[in-house]
Structure 1
Amino acid sequence: MEAFLSYNTVTSTPIHHADPSADSSFLFHNNAGDAEGGLAAPIARSTRRRQRTRKNTEEAENQRMTHIAVERNRRRQMNEHLAVLRSLMPECYIQRGDQASIVGGAIDFVKELEQLLQSLEAQKRTLQHAATDHGVLNSPPFAHFFASPQYTWCHNTHNCTPENQIPALADIEVTLIETHANIRILSPKRPGQLFKMVASLRSLMLTILHLNVTSLNSMVLYSLSLKVEEGCNLSTVDDIAAAIHSILSMIEAEVILVAH
């Protein structure tokens, strides 16, 4: 380190002066070190941020591709099931080839098969009773279709309701799931019964979705699928069964009145 001497002209005391370039060099190195340390932290944070962003992007892309694959597989299976379902039905039940038409046609086809089954079962039971009981029927042909009816009709003198109860005019069974009701009614044939019953159900805000009618001799079996509309006052199976029995009672009263 170089230095130079100078004399104070008053005191004749030598004064030592340091080389200013040395201090400047020291300050420069310190400032440069601080600057490097200050820049390193933001660079590291930026690198970590880019890595996290890249990882999140990759995960989102993997989830998207997985979702696409699952959806593609679901559609393929659905198309296969619809193709099989369509092959099981006659062409007359399929108006168009779209999903809604195929499902709707399948529902109608199943309803028709149910009606055919009921008719064949009734004929079978009639033939069996005719062969074994000499034509005396202990129960009507369709009675075995009812598991737990709310109303049971007095079919014959050996199986009648007690004396303290009013005999029902029909077998009536109602099942209810949320706003959809399935109803079976077994009764004797009466003039205009179906038309009057349908009109009365509509007035009670019960919309008929499907209706099957199967008759054998003097008996008729109605199978109905109803929708309980908003505002309908019938909220339980007992309410609906009682309303149907009331409708049949009015129809029976009109038939008796006309006959007399």
Structure 2
Amino acid sequence: MTHIAVERNRRKQMNEYLSVLRSLMPESYVQRGDQASIIGGAINFVKELEHRLQLLSAQKETKDKSSSDGCGRSSLFSEFFTFPVQYSTSSPLGETPASTDETMSETQSSMADIKVTMVESHANLKIRSKRRPPGQLLKVVSGLNNMRLTILHLNVTTAEQTVLYSISVKVEDDCKLTSVDDIATAVYQLLGRIQEDKLS
């Protein structure tokens, strides 16, 4: 009887939380009232809010730059590249960076800044680089698919000559990249190949 009462209370609390969560989102994000739809809609809504934050951040930083000198790509979108524990390197193209951080990897170079976070089989990538001629995004998407990283969500934010890609991916079972370091290094090398193609 105690177990039944505890389970009943848990379900009641879960339904209350789901109801509150649904009330915080626009109707367009929740087509149905089942739990999966509400949670899925909340995920998409949070991603949309993140995208809007990126746009506002870019606008603010561009405005700040116009009123002061010396602000370059390294400061644009900088708040999306901060975390208590970070990994960063300026290793030349082709070298594999080493890291002891198991939850986050960040590769910084003149080519791009890359940050990867991972929870179970889902990873989030942030790639900040110079804007390049059309075709870069298509090659990035194609390259990720070839690595068996299935794109679930993609946002692109640009400010002046800087672009920020925010990409959510599912790491497929047959993917050979098993850590954030593996993914960050593979993306870094992919961007290097794309850059070499542009130069050749």
The secondary structure found in structure 1 opposite 2:76 is coil
Distance 1:116 1:149, change over 3 A: farther
Asked if 1:237 is matched to 2:173, the reply is no
Give the residue type in structure 2 aligned to 1:169.
M
Distance 1:186 1:72, change over 3 A: same
The separation in 1 between residues aligned to 2:26 and 2:194, in whole angstroms, is: 38
**Which sections of structure 2, spanning at least 5 residues, go unmatched?**
92-107
User: Normalization by structure 2: what TM-score?
Assistant: 0.81
Structure 1 residue 178: deviation in Å?
Answer: 3.2
List structure 1 runs of 4+ shifted beyond 6 angstroms: none
The separation in 1 between residues aligned to 2:111 and 2:151, in whole angstroms, is: 22
Deviates more, 1:144-153 or 1:94-103: 144-153
The separation in 1 between residues aligned to 2:157 and 2:89, in whole angstroms, is: 19
The separation in 2 between residues aligned to 1:152 and 1:94, in whole angstroms, is: 43
Asked if 1:119 is matched to 2:61, the reply is no
The secondary structure found in structure 1 opposite 2:177 is coil
The separation in 2 between residues aligned to 1:150 and 1:185, in whole angstroms, is: 13
Identity of aligned residues (%): 56
Higher helix share: 1
Output the aligned Cα RMSD: 2.1
Aligned counterpart in structure 2 of residue 205 of structure 1, from 142, 148, 152? 148
Asked if 1:215 is matched to 2:158, the reply is yes
Give the residue type in structure 1 aligned to 2:186.
A
Aligned residues: 179
The separation in 1 between residues aligned to 2:156 and 2:109, in whole angstroms, is: 24
The separation in 2 between residues aligned to 1:85 and 1:112, in whole angstroms, is: 15
Q: State whether residues 149 and 171 of structure 1, in contact with CA within 8 Å, keep that contact through their aligned partners in structure 2.
A: no
Matching residue of 1:128: 64
Larger radius of gyration: 1
Matching residue of 1:254: 197
Greater RCO, CA 8 A, separation 6+: 2
The separation in 2 between residues aligned to 1:171 and 1:123, in whole angstroms, is: 20
Higher strand share: 2
- CA displacement 1:76-135 (0-9 Å, x = unmatched): 1111111111111001101111111010000000001011111111211221222132xx
